[in-house]
Structure 1
Amino acid sequence: MTASKATISAIAGALAIGAFLLWWTPSGGPASDEHIVAVTVPQLSVRAERGQELFAANCAACHGDNAGGTEQGPPLIHRIYEPSHHGDQAFLIAATQGARAHHWGFGNMPPVEGVSERQVVDIVAYIREVQKANGIF
């Protein structure tokens, strides 16, 4: 894929997500006891191992060790973030551009400074492998 096609694809994805967020009105997130979940980490691929290191350095402060959530941010190992609802592009946009709060009451997510798109791909690989190991498809 050429750079211009990739850029167009990224813009189209961002517009689709933005349109959805403008249209969708949250009916409230899960009950408050659902914001921290127990997580089983499987044997990881090499890409997901890189993603695990990047996640620990850039995401765990808010999303918890192994993406199980904290008092500052939601768990990513949760059915809300299954691929059919939040595709990989949604994670890329959230990390690089930030995201408006729409499922949880933690507030808006700011962009993650210093994380490249390539690194986000590895982080998403880690999240998806851990999700699958925890029954989230």
Structure 2
Amino acid sequence: MDRLTMMIGGVVVAGAAVLAVNLFKAPAPGGHSMTAPDTGALAAGDPIAEVRLPAALSPLARNGKLAFEAKCAACHGDNATGREGAAPPLVHKIYEPGHHGDQSFFMAVQNGVRAHHWPFGNMPPVPGLTRGDVKGIVAYVRELQRENGIF
């Protein structure tokens, strides 16, 4: 067997192994999935997710928590748990950094978001937040996510 055939065979075997691992791997710990949960049994305004709080927040996240409470919590719930009928929880695998990077939060605040994962309708832009405010909000949400096993 020549060297090129062996290299191609190795790449094919490695690719098949990666595909198999990704197709058959277990769900992430904590039951997080990229699918929005069924919230049909919840009453309007109920929290959608259970969120464990970190023992302490960084200074940036503490500032972000204040901005979140002022501008985001009315829809996204206290500690980003979401509110049935209003907006999704941000402490959910859908919003992990690898799927919705930090920049997506800046864009959402500035431009709003067209509904695409959840059945709550479009999110309007959020006036009155500076880039520094959003940076703090992102830090706050990411620290909540890490505490809840979302990386």
Report how many aligned residue pairs link the two structures. Answer: 110
Counterpart check, 1:134 vs 2:141:
no
SS in 2 for 1:32: coil
Note the C-alpha offset of 1:31. 2.0
Unaligned runs of 5+ in 1: 1-27
Note the C-alpha offset of 1:41. 1.4
Counterpart check, 1:31 vs 2:41:
no
Note the C-alpha offset of 1:118. 1.4
The Cα RMSD (Å) is 1.6
Unaligned runs of 5+ in 2: 1-34
TM-score (norm 2): 0.69
For the residues of structure 1 that align with 2:148 and 2:142, how far apart are their CA atoms? 10
Q: 1:116 maps to what in 2?
A: 130
Which of residues 53, 57, 73 is equivalent to 1:41?
53
Deviating beyond 6 angstroms after TM superposition, the runs of 4 or more aligned structure 1 residues are: none
Note the C-alpha offset of 1:117. 1.4
Note the C-alpha offset of 1:83. 0.4
Higher Rg: 2
For the residues of structure 2 that align with 1:30 and 1:49, how far apart are their CA atoms? 29
Q: Which has the higher helix share?
A: 1
For the residues of structure 2 that align with 1:102 and 1:50, how far apart are their CA atoms? 29
CA separation of 1:133/1:58 partners in 2, compared to 1, >3 Å: closer, same or farther? same
Residues 1-137 of structure 1 correspond to what in structure 2 (within 5 A)? 29-32=36-39, 36-42=48-54, 43-71=56-84, 72-137=86-151
SS in 2 for 1:69: coil
